[in-house]
Structure 1
Amino acid sequence: MLLLRKYVEAYTDQYKKASEDVQAYVESPINAYLLVKRLTTDLQVVQDLIITNTESIADIDKLKPGLKFPSDEDLNGAAMALARLQDTYKLDTSSLANGEINGVKCAAELTAADCFELGRQSYTNADHYHAQLWMMEADERLKREVNQTVERSEILEYLAFSTYKLGDVGLALDLTNKILELIPTHERALINKVYYEDEIATRNAAQPKGEDGSILTSVQNKTEDMLFYEALCRGEIKPSDEILAQLKCRYTDNGNPFLKIAPFKVEEAYLDPKILIFHDVMADNEIATIKALARPHFKRARVKRYTTDALNISNYRISKSAWLKEIDHKHVADVVQRVEDMTGLSMETAENLQVVNYGIGGHFWPHYDFATKGDPKAFNRFERKRIATVLFYMSDVAQGGATVFPYLNIAVWPKKGTAAFWYNLHSSGEGDLHTAHAACPVLTGSKWGIYDTK
């Protein structure tokens, strides 16, 4: 009953904090992970604890059909998002566990069990680097817990094997011996102990090491392109002062008589290729309407592609998307007309508006908006060429979420009501390889955008 009361206290405390400001609460990646965990693995534990009370189980079962509970896949996605953010933005494991992101307290502290589950999810994905980080944090927090939330033997078992997979067989053996000190008859630990001892005896490390014998981390296994992209996302790389000095802001009417009265405010983000930022081009009521129209039609885009990073396979794009037509609402038609006014391009052959929501950890790796001819750096393919792209930002993002152009060293940061515009093709019709761009992971907040391509 004591453990059950602890869960009741945890659920009650989380409910109270979330009720103060639901939107702000779930925009923290730590809170988002905790909420999903409470409604998946934790809820299963609660049900197991009260399994003898058929009346309570029946009450829970009655609730489930009317509510949409997260799945184990959602839990894995939330854990992977935290790991992705941890790498991209160089976030300290202990600070995250304390509920802090870049020095800002945005969530409650994680328990040893919460850290353990993050490590276990990483382990399930064969991401032994993050599994090791979170199991070590779980072990440290367990030592400080009066009412321990997870068995230390479980932490050590995952930690030992991940440490072995990262190449440190000696430490894996030491951790396994600690398991046997706690549980001398632990079956898997007894088997692994013999295996690790044989490995050390034959000096046959299972994983590659660096030239100095050090363990290869996930950062060392990343390509230079990926490390550069992440540095752009953190705002560490900018164009040279010479390039920045040439950029200007101006009003433009594009020869449109109506715009003589209300010209567009344009900021140059880059000159060649030309990337422009249009300010104050969407009103709040338009944004609210378009979000509401898109929500019922959202489809999750979780695309996996083979990569050269430590996991060999990665989520190339994580977002939710919906397509809207001009006939769906006047505001949709207004936005399409506005794109024509902004760019001077006819919208007769343009694609429908693509509304995209990038939640916690949502991102889109470097790609082009045009079909390529065997270029090795192209990540995606299209059936036809897209002349130009307009990207409207429908929300501010507290941290992260920039649109970056790796070949140009620039980052466009989301600002509600603005829009970025660039040509994907040269005047010859050939694709401009300098327009490769990416959506950085959302660190805190939620990023809404509209893509309009022609």
Structure 2
Amino acid sequence: MSLLRSVHIFIFLLLSTINGEYHKEFLISETAKMDLMQLDNELIVNLERYAEKVEDKVAKLQRIVKELRQPLDAAKGIEEEYMGNPLHSFPLIRHMYQDWEILEEFMKQPVGEEQIDFLKKKLPELPWHADAEEASTAIFRMAETYGMKPGEMAEGFIDNVRFNSTLSALDCYEIAKMYFKWGYFKEALQWLINTKTRMKEEYSDVYEVLGMTRKDVALLQARCLIELDLKDEAKDVLLEQPDLAENATNLIDKFLARPYEAVDSSPSLSEDYKRLCRSSFLPRPSRLHCRYNTTTSPFLILAPLKMEEISLDPYIVLYHDILPVKDIDQLIILAEPRLKASEVIKENDSTVSSDRTALGTFLPFEGMNPSDEPLFDRLTQRMRDITGLKVEDRKHVNFIKYGFGAHYTSHYDFFNESNLETEGRGDRIASVIFYLNDAPFGGATVFPRLNIKVPAERGKVLFFYNLNGETHHVEPNTLHAACPVFYGIKWAMASWIHDWDQMFIQPIYREE
């Protein structure tokens, strides 16, 4: 126990002194997660070697203890007679004078310094506090979006899909603390119950070293019950815990005297958004049609595109089988090395936001190999064919990768204001979203005000107007969002077509 506690304290002290700037997107980068798994393996091997060094020293000390105890065991019960022998007296005096001073030096000798240095060197590569909070928030987002009870999620169920994985007691405890912090006491209580059922008695010393004891769980459980006005149940929880039973009444009084003031910074998820994202959502039949589009560009007369009408007001359509696999693979190869945390435009500035948890980059980019340019010529022409609008040559696209729990909260693509994006080009009249892979576990695009859900499937392209086609007023019903991905990844690509580019092909109707 003391050894484990010492290791824990040592790691904590090292963590508290790290000021490194090295950081990766652990939550949504598959490469970063693979690196993290490799690092975890290296640190476990290092810890094993440290334990072996400690065990070697402990074994040596135990042999010394056995050797030193032999004369005492031989003299037991006949001490005076035993010490009358000069061959016993001399060894005792020599031993007491010489051996303990040497043993003091041996006991102070550090153990496993090489392993400690290795750990210290690797600590800056570990996730930061913000990464852990973001991962917990992603769990919250998935649980709330897909309506999962704590027990179901802990057992590997998400949105009626069973995964061959479960959460540990430590995992459940961390999630419970997050729910409690935000004031979701009922849910926190359920996560704590799952924590208790997953705690294994033989690992109690391990849990303690890693920052969780049955006492900690019981205290938080009692606090949740008090906040839910279940005083008697809270007292029963404390009485069941031996080291809390004696002070159960005092603890209850303290909890009642100082109610917990929660600060709810949880993601805002509307009921319509959650309902649409779930697999249980079934769209109502409509009178809209699937047809071949031959009208938006002359080329389509020869090679019409498969078009599915989603909504006529506002205008939203879905095209099928647009991008070939070869082009998709080439786009991913170009984009992946350049991915970084996606940004959103707020208050005339582009910044990373919790509203959009994904990796992204813009293509094409400066210095790109000229052999890749025809790909973007084809992509631009496809957007012209799909939209019938004026699209600049080699139109920039925002390449996006959604990973674990990644989403984009409800938002508009139009701005209805002047900012960096609209200056000199006008507002975003239309949006084009390309889906580059199948994402069956979350990742759908939903329009909460229209009761519309578009699953992410490879080769599909979603096209919709953000501004009214006649008046160019904003379309508030185009509010849309990306559902959290809860398994695998989702590759997508978005491009926005601007208002002023259309002035010579799409006259604006103004009343009076």
Q: Using structure 1 for the length normalisation, give the TM-score.
A: 0.72
Specify which of 95, 115, 135 is matched with residue 56 of structure 1: 115
Query: Partner residue of 2:360?
Result: 321
Alpha-carbon distance, 1:422 to partner: 0.5
Q: Which amino acid aligns with 1:441?
A: P
Deviates more, 1:157-166 or 1:286-295: 157-166
Change (3 A) 1:133 1:403: same
Query: Partner residue of 1:368?
Result: 412
Q: Structure 1: 5+ residue runs without aligned partners? A: 5-25, 200-204, 209-217, 306-313, 374-380
Change (3 A) 1:140 1:411: same
Query: Partner residue of 2:163?
Result: 106
Query: Partner residue of 1:270?
Result: 311
Alpha-carbon distance, 1:417 to partner: 1.1
Query: Aligned equivalents of 1:304 and 1:137: distance in 2?
Result: 40
Query: Partner residue of 2:320?
Result: 279
Query: Partner residue of 2:492?
Result: 449
Cα deviations by residue, 1:142-167 (Å, 9 ceiling, x for unpaired): 2x655445321121223333444455
Query: Aligned equivalents of 1:423 and 1:382: distance in 2?
Result: 16
SS in 2 for 1:398: coil
User: Any conservation in 2 of the 1:319–1:359 contact (CA below 8 Å)?
Assistant: yes
Matched, 1:346 2:390: yes
Query: Partner residue of 1:435?
Result: 478
Specify which of 215, 218, 232 is matched with residue 153 of structure 1: 215
Specify which of 387, 394, 401 is matched with residue 357 of structure 1: 401
Change (3 A) 1:58 1:206: closer
Query: Partner residue of 2:464?
Result: 422
Q: Which amino acid aligns with 2:356?
A: R
Query: Partner residue of 1:213?
Result: none
Alpha-carbon distance, 1:419 to partner: 0.6
Query: Partner residue of 1:196?
Result: 255
Query: Aligned equivalents of 2:379 and 2:307: distance in 1?
Result: 17
Alpha-carbon distance, 1:439 to partner: 0.8
Query: Aligned equivalents of 1:2 and 1:292: distance in 2?
Result: 51
Query: Aligned equivalents of 1:164 and 1:304: distance in 2?
Result: 43
Alpha-carbon distance, 1:79 to partner: 1.9
User: Any conservation in 1 of the 2:159–2:278 contact (CA below 8 Å)?
Assistant: no
Cα deviations by residue, 1:238-290 (Å, 9 ceiling, x for unpaired): 5543xx1x221122233645434432111112222221111111122222222
Change (3 A) 1:293 1:193: same
Query: Partner residue of 1:182?
Result: 243
Q: Using structure 2 for the length normalisation, give the TM-score.
A: 0.64
Q: Which amino acid aligns with 1:356?
A: I
**Structural RMSD (CA):** 4.2
SS in 1 for 2:449: coil
Change (3 A) 1:48 1:158: farther
Alpha-carbon distance, 1:428 to partner: 0.6
Change (3 A) 1:230 1:349: farther
Alpha-carbon distance, 1:393 to partner: 0.5
Q: Structure 2: 5+ residue runs without aligned partners? A: 5-26, 55-110, 208-212, 347-352, 498-512
Q: Where in structure 2 are the equivalents of 1:46-445 lying within 5 Å?
A: 50=51, 52-61=111-120, 68-102=125-159, 104-123=161-180, 128-142=185-199, 146-148=202-204, 150=207, 151-179=213-241, 181-183=242-244, 192-196=251-255, 198=257, 226-241=270-285, 244=286, 246-254=287-295, 256-301=297-342, 315-325=354-364, 328=368, 329-330=372-373, 331-348=375-392, 352-372=396-416, 384-426=426-468, 427-445=470-488
- Structure number, greater radius of gyration: 2
SS in 1 for 2:270: helix
Change (3 A) 1:302 1:54: farther
Query: Partner residue of 2:349?
Result: none
User: Any conservation in 2 of the 1:165–1:207 contact (CA below 8 Å)?
Assistant: no
SS in 1 for 2:341: strand
Q: Which amino acid aligns with 2:158?
A: I
Query: Aligned equivalents of 2:162 and 2:283: distance in 1?
Result: 32
Query: Aligned equivalents of 2:345 and 2:229: distance in 1?
Result: 27
Query: Aligned equivalents of 2:267 and 2:180: distance in 1?
Result: 19
SS in 2 for 1:153: helix
Query: Aligned equivalents of 1:301 and 1:124: distance in 2?
Result: 27
Query: Aligned equivalents of 1:155 and 1:388: distance in 2?
Result: 52
Q: Which amino acid aligns with 1:135?
A: L
User: Any conservation in 2 of the 1:290–1:332 contact (CA below 8 Å)?
Assistant: no
User: Any conservation in 2 of the 1:237–1:410 contact (CA below 8 Å)?
Assistant: no
Cα deviations by residue, 1:25-74 (Å, 9 ceiling, x for unpaired): x99x9xx89x78x959x97x959985942233344456668xx5433322
SS in 2 for 1:442: coil
Instruction: Report sequence identity in percent.
Output: 30
Query: Partner residue of 1:202?
Result: none
Alpha-carbon distance, 1:413 to partner: 0.4
Q: Which amino acid aligns with 1:195?
A: K
Q: Which amino acid aligns with 1:402?
A: A
User: Any conservation in 2 of the 1:266–1:278 contact (CA below 8 Å)?
Assistant: yes
User: Any conservation in 2 of the 1:392–1:451 contact (CA below 8 Å)?
Assistant: yes
User: Any conservation in 1 of the 2:443–2:490 contact (CA below 8 Å)?
Assistant: yes
Cα deviations by residue, 1:302-352 (Å, 9 ceiling, x for unpaired): 8799xxxxxxxx942222221123764322332122111211111129972
Query: Partner residue of 1:7?
Result: none
Q: Which amino acid aligns with 1:156?
A: A
SS in 2 for 1:316: coil
Change (3 A) 1:346 1:239: same
User: Any conservation in 2 of the 1:249–1:265 contact (CA below 8 Å)?
Assistant: yes
User: Any conservation in 2 of the 1:351–1:453 contact (CA below 8 Å)?
Assistant: no
Query: Aligned equivalents of 1:169 and 1:352: distance in 2?
Result: 60
SS in 2 for 1:451: strand
User: Any conservation in 2 of the 1:166–1:207 contact (CA below 8 Å)?
Assistant: no
Query: Aligned equivalents of 2:183 and 2:159: distance in 1?
Result: 27
Number of aligned pairs? 387
Query: Aligned equivalents of 1:163 and 1:234: distance in 2?
Result: 30
Query: Partner residue of 2:16?
Result: none
Query: Aligned equivalents of 1:178 and 1:303: distance in 2?
Result: 50
SS in 2 for 1:295: helix
